[in-house]
Chains A and B, each alone.
Chain A
Amino acid sequence: AQTVTQSQPEMSVQEAETVTLSCTYDTSESDYYLFWYKQPPSRQMILVIRQEAYKQQNATENRFSVNFQKAAKSFSLKISDSQLGDAAMYFCAYRRTGNQFYFGTGTSLTVIP
């Protein structure tokens, strides 16, 4: 089974600053997707950003960007200009097309005003 590792259980960032959340994964497949999900206290899973493994270009969504290193099996999330509403649990996830997600253990992000 695929494994996803998030080595930072907790992170904090000053409002308006930048923070990077780390994620590594293990797979023998070449075609897959990687995701970052945000889970606020409501527990609803909110898609932050996704990356197709076949694309070399790093995905970007407004203040959120990833650093995808396929050979190193690394997929970090950078949040720029952090806002109070960014505070949440962040999960890195791996998925093959049509199949189930494999989630990391999560990183709890605190944004300090």
Chain B
Amino acid sequence: GAVVSQHPSRVICKSGTSVKIECRSLDFQATTMFWYRQFPKQSLMLMATSNEGSKATYEQGVEKDKFLINHASLTLSTLTVTSAHPEDSSFYICSARDPGHSYEQYFGPGTRLTVT
């Protein structure tokens, strides 16, 4: 199957700083990517839909000024957590949609963010 990567796999940052997480589709062009958040022992919750060349669509309750999403190319979407706080500590997973394969979606391996 198609490969989606995320970088970094783990990151620790201090409260008040910003951290950027990358999601890349390695062997297909993804016009749409999705960002999910997963708290410990909980399910994946959609945060936003990232569309190449346009603004992201955020789910209700997700602060767009805090979670900045940029989908600058067909293979890369970034999620920047600004002014991070300990409650932002979570596991962030992206998925990328492959228009060349019936819009199948593939998940990245996830990024564990810890804010101290």
Contacts and interface: CB of A to CB of B under 8 A. Distances in A.
Interface in B15-50: 32, 34, 36, 38, 42-46, 49
B107 A100 contact: no
Contacts of B110: 43-45
Interface of B: 1, 32, 34, 36, 38, 42-46, 49, 91, 93, 95, 97, 102-103, 105, 107, 109-110, 112
- B-side interface mostly: strand
B34 A43 contact: no
Chain A, interface size category, equals: 10 to 19
A101 B46 contact: yes
A20 B106 CA distance: 25
Given A44-B110, A45-B93, A103 B103 contact: no
